[in-house]
Amino acid sequence: TTEGLSADMIDDIARKHYPMCMRNMHTNLRRDHHLKHFGRLTYGLFLKVLGLSLDEAIVFWRKSFDRITDDKFNKEYRYNIRHSYGQEGKRANYPAKSCSQILQGEPSSEHGCPYRHFTMENLQTTLLTMYSSQGLQSHHLPEIADLVKKQSYHVACTRVFEITHSMKKGDGIGEGESVTHPNQYAARSMELEK
């Protein structure tokens, strides 16, 4: 968790540090000015664990849903954001979803794991769009595709981390560890930048 994250830092962090699932949700949110329920829930909990405070989360979502009125935002979304932060209902400290929860969840190209839930063609195009500025090139794609065909989704994601962080194959996200949680991916990426 990073202290002092603010809503206006998220676009930059998304571009530099997000795994593909969260990058996809962030991109969809920016494109559509909206995200469906499961996307809001999954992405919202990720942002909480990333270090976005409740106040900044409300700023973030309010600015992201910029085509609705304050009234609609307050009625339909504010409660759920506060709920995710344990400030409503039974006030639970909800954890962010792990890779296995996302992988086993409802198949969705909006809020699922892209390695599992995208078509191969869409996966490859999107990988290049998202990560070519960090060194991912088309010659890396066959290797990623092979891992996906073997249903080794975490391994594919880990390999993308290695490629985009100039790490060797087998380094994983550090010390050979592989990706098991989107927040672990983002936290490690942010640490490496320091």
Interface contacts to ligand SF4, rule CB under 6 A: 19-21, 99, 102-103, 113-115, 153-154, 157, 179, 182, 185
Query: How near is the Cβ of 102 to ligand SF4 at its closest, in Å?
Result: 4
Query: How near is the Cβ of 64 to ligand SF4 at its closest, in Å?
Result: 20
Extended beta strands in 58-121, E state: none
Residues 6+ apart with CB under 8 A from 154: 99, 178, 179, 180
54 versus 128: smaller Cβ distance to ligand SF4: 128
With H, G, I as helix, E, B as strand and everything else as coil, classify residue 39. helix
CA atoms within 13 A on the CB side of 105: 18
Query: How near is the Cβ of 182 to ligand SF4 at its closest, in Å?
Result: 4
Question: Are the C-beta atoms of 67 and 150 separated by less than 8 Å?
Answer: no
Query: How near is the Cβ of 4 to ligand SF4 at its closest, in Å?
Result: 24
40 versus 58: smaller Cβ distance to ligand SF4: 40
43 versus 65: smaller Cβ distance to ligand SF4: 43
Query: 65 phi and psi, to 5 degrees?
Result: -90, 65
43 versus 77: smaller Cβ distance to ligand SF4: 43
At 128, list the tokens: 């290049």
